[in-house]
Structure 1
Amino acid sequence: MIHRKLIAPLLLGLALMSGAGSAQAQQPIRMVVPFAAGGGTDQYVRLLASELAKKGTQIIVENKPGASGIVAADYVARSRPDGLTVLVSSLGTLANNTVLYDKLPYDPKKDFAPVTQIGYQPAIIVGRTDLPYKNIKELVSYAKANPGKINRGSPGEAILTNLAPLSFEKTQGFSTTHVPFNGDAPAVQALLSNTIDIHGTSLTGSLSLIQAGKLRVLGVMDSKRLPQVPDAPTFKEQGYDFEAVLWYSLSVPSGTPADSIRRLNKAVNEVIAQPDFVTRARAMGMEPRGGTPEELAKFVQTEFERWVPMLKSLNLPKQSH
């Protein structure tokens, strides 16, 4: 039996604990993007954050570019596993960095727990409109006849929009000079200022410039053309059986409570299933895709098994971050 003199303090303590729990639940979630602001991934994540906020899940988008996602991944891996810090993860941070860098400050398989996929899109190659080649087939011919003349940009060493073109170049017997950037936005600016000639990217970060006639899509790494740029040919149409799809997901530090993961998974999947959200995402070149944490874990493993052996076969020099 609890003495009456203890009831009031006990109730007060319970109230304070409840208040603290409510306050913690109301804290905004930091969604960490490993690229510079303004790029395609950043635009999509900000659209997602805006829609989540309307549903009561407050999101702060933080950009932490650098070292092919290592800066952002390390930051999230070291964060408290309280469900309030989330990494916008991809093939680079969860798989490819293990091949490209001699030592990572994080372990992609041990330091993160999966939440959900959020979207995907095929990789593309864009170029300036004044180039002497207008598609991938012409680019290959030009590159072979003019070694060292093409500067190719990418959002980072470990990003698929660098590695897929690199793999393609090896299979076709030519090479370009790779110039990595900390995201799509600075690379596109370099493209417009003639610092680079072509850029491996996604449709999201360059769509407005393509539609304005300032950039041209040389090839789409998918089995079908993109509805947003119906005149842009696929690699397959040009005689190359080559596909590469960029995907984006959410990961949290290992040890994050399952309830926190389930809440975020539910909130995100509800938003990306909304018809209006799908329409807006597709307008920027992104295809929303969600799923369970278990499905994401299986998908990441499949992608790891596909791309990591291929990267090892390229015998690329190890980078230091």
Structure 2
Amino acid sequence: MPEMPDERLARLGFVRSRLVRHSAEADEATVPPSGAEDGLHAAFCADKVLVAGGSALLAPRNRDRAGRAAVEIFLGRLDGRPVFAAEIDPAEAPRLADEPAFRCVDLRGLAVEGSLEPHELGLLATARSLLQWHARHGFCANCGSPSLVRAGGFRRECPTCGAHHFPRVDPVVIMLIRRGDACLLGRAPRFPEGMYSCLAGFLEPGETIEDAVRRETYEETRIRIGAVSYLASQPWPFPSSLMIGCVAEALDETIVPDPTELADARWFPREEVAAMLGRRHGAGISAPQPMAIAHALMRAFVDGQA
């Protein structure tokens, strides 16, 4: 399987990051203070990121204007400068709405509009995933006691039983399934009207990537899968997944869609997929946005790289 050319990945959201993670600074004594004068801050409020002056990496003065932080963590360094992520107290939201220095934008919307440097989106994916993890893991899963933020935010510790808890990433397989000169695409009930995409599903414990592709495809469409190849991956911070893009060879043609998972599924010839990607399909059928790995997988198929 040839490597997907860099230009095909150039528009993927969240895949580029220049963040130097702080694994070498895990000792609490070496974590810089959040008020460092040269610090950069990624601030989120109610699932939206604050943008000022075309960047979501705020200088300390803008971070201070954003208000109190419910959680603040140290992510690492960017060009030697410490980078922090903060979840702004929801009580500050009304004031932020009247603050002319900021735009409050959904992170997915930022990736679609392409207004930020690509490396900022990758850093913001790290920030959002970690902040979401802290929001959901305030208590020890072992004994139920409140846990404490440690290692700058890359670990939580239980003061009662001593258990350590670390951020998790949920792996998801997403697959371009082909048979001859056609590929299998489906649409979930939640999709925008007319949009079709690659099938996808979470890996289960003790399962290989290849077996997850085969299982998920069969469960959703009753299509059996033979060979599976890896193509590319994409962090997906909603809340914290890794999309593992694969190409799979179908052994069957008859589709029996699972109505609980899919509103429809069908085979699309190469030229029709090209029309979907170009937003020129005669029936108004569309593909995911270029920032999504499903778009890159479909483009690889059209270009003969899948």
Same fold (TM over 0.5): no
**Larger RCO of the pair (alpha carbons < 8 Å, separation 6+):** 1
TM range, smaller chain: under 0.3
More helix by share: 1
More strand by share: 2
TM-score, normalised to structure 2's length?
0.21
TM-score, normalised to structure 1's length?
0.21
